[in-house]
Structure 1
């Protein structure tokens, strides 16, 4: 068995981890899914707290940078970005994956 990483990026409405998810991306190091297939129109979790409750580990939170004076209402990137991970064991023999939380 070997361990692979799954990454979940949630873009939240505010800097609070319990605020609503407004965008997301997934990346699967097990090669079982593709980020371009998408998850439909519904986010995988309503908030970052919901992802934590499902076993995802937070490893990077958005850096809070105040806007420059006069640019408070400019449209730009989604600034409340949170990175989560799950470590998954992959059995090289049959290709099955199992998360650490399912042990």
Structure 2
């Protein structure tokens, strides 16, 4: 049976080779129970590094211009990339 693992990387800017600033991992196989921020170092330095390791990029956040006056708003992480890896598991 095939299960999905999801990796969410928040990068410093919209380029896939930008440094990772935050991350989360979700394991649909049930083998691990990682949580966001459970390590001091990101699983990948950049989004390109995740691609090189076999993760498939399936969504990137839409790049929208800042509204006037919100150029320095830090209420959310803007550059979010979703990756997946399909894993065969025994049932």
Query: Which TM bucket (shorter chain)?
Result: over 0.9
Q: Which runs of 5+ in 1 are unaligned?
A: 93-103
**TM score, norm. by length of structure 1:** 0.84
- Across the two proteins, how many residue pairs are aligned to each other? 91
Q: Which runs of 5+ in 2 are unaligned?
A: none
Which is helix-richer, 1 or 2? 1
Over aligned residue pairs, what C-alpha RMSD do you find? 1.3
Corresponding residue number in structure 2 for 1:54: 53
Structure with more relative contact order (C-alpha pairs < 8 Å, separation 6 or more): 2
- SS of structure 2 residue aligned to 1:35: coil
Q: CA deviation at 1:35?
A: 2.9
